[in-house]
């Protein structure tokens, strides 16, 4: 699903965010990405989302070499990837329902079908009763769950999450992780960047450990 081959990423000529990255993630795997802040977790995710191109090496996601994607293909490439952001990136002038339906709107899904899928996604994250609420009326944990619902509403093959439990208390964090495990169980490849070591150690999935842009450990690979 994901293959990094000798990937390096430099910003502004000098600062090396990532170096000599080599790893593969199989379809249907669940992987944690960890390391201190600034270790390159976000840069790695940004490469997969094709927000940036690697300075060196190849990044291949779902069969696409991301450096070779034409700008006009990028939107269609991104539609295969669900992303959960640390700051959830919700639109605050739209209801929960309309936030979640945004990816379907972009893909032109027929409204009745879209509504069905949005409700299914909201039901999955336990927020069906809040569909008419505005994001500001929700708690941090609820907002994050709306973000997750939006990421999974179009059933992406790959689900990325950048510090999804960043600002949540342990119980909420565990709930969120359990949600990701549920999606992984139905075949979605999941990659989660997190520095909550205690939590991810309990979950017994593969862990990629980054340090100063290098892969220093690949533990618990299946």
CA angle, residues 163, 19, 55, in degrees to nearest 5: 95
Least Cα distance to 122 among 145, 155, 143, 105 occurs for: 145
Q: Is 38 in the site for another protein (CB under 8 A)?
A: no
- Provide, rounded to whole angstroms, the least separation between the CB of residue 121 and another protein: 13
Q: Is 37 in the site for another protein (CB under 8 A)?
A: no
- Provide, rounded to whole angstroms, the least separation between the CB of residue 202 and another protein: 30
Of all helices (H) and strands (E), which one includes residue 34? strand 30-34
Contact criterion met (CB below 8 Å) for 113 and 122: no
**What binding mask, one character per residue, do residues 123-162 give for another protein by CB under 8 A, x or -?**
---------------------------x----x-------
155 to 214, contacts with another protein by CB under 8 A? 155
Cβ atoms < 10 Å from Cβ of 21: 24
**What binding mask, one character per residue, do residues 79-118 give for another protein by CB under 8 A, x or -?**
x---x-x---xxx-x--------xx-xxxxxxx-------
Q: Is 51 in the site for another protein (CB under 8 A)?
A: yes
Q: Return residues touching another protein (CB under 8 A).
A: 49, 51, 72, 75-79, 83, 85, 89-91, 93, 102-103, 105-111, 150, 155
């Amino acid at each position: 699903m994901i293959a990094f081959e000798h990937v390096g990423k430099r910003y502004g000529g000098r600062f090396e965010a990532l170096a000599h990255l080599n790893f593969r993630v199989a379809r249907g795997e669940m992987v944690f990405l960890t390391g201190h802040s600034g270790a390159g977790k976000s840069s790695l995710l940004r490469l997969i989302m094709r927000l940036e191109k690697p300075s060196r090496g190849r990044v291949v996601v779902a069969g696409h070499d991301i450096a070779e994607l034409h700008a006009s293909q990028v939107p269609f490439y991104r539609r295969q990837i669900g992303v959960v952001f640390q700051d959830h990136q919700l639109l605050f002038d739209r209801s929960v329902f309309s936030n979640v339906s945004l990816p379907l709107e972009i893909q032109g899904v027929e409204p009745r079908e879209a509504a069905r899928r949005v409700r299914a996604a909201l039901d999955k994250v336990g927020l069906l009763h809040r569909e008419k609420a505005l994001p500001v009326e929700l708690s941090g944990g609820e907002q994050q769950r709306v973000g997750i619902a939006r990421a999974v509403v179009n059933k992406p093959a790959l689900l990325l999450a950048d510090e999804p439990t960043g600002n949540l208390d342990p119980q909420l964090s565990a709930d969120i992780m359990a949600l990701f495990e549920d999606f992984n169980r139905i075949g979605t490849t999941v990659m989660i960047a997190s520095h909550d070591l205690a939590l991810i150690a309990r979950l017994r999935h593969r862990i990629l450990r980054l340090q100063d842009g290098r892969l220093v450990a690949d533990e618990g690979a299946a």
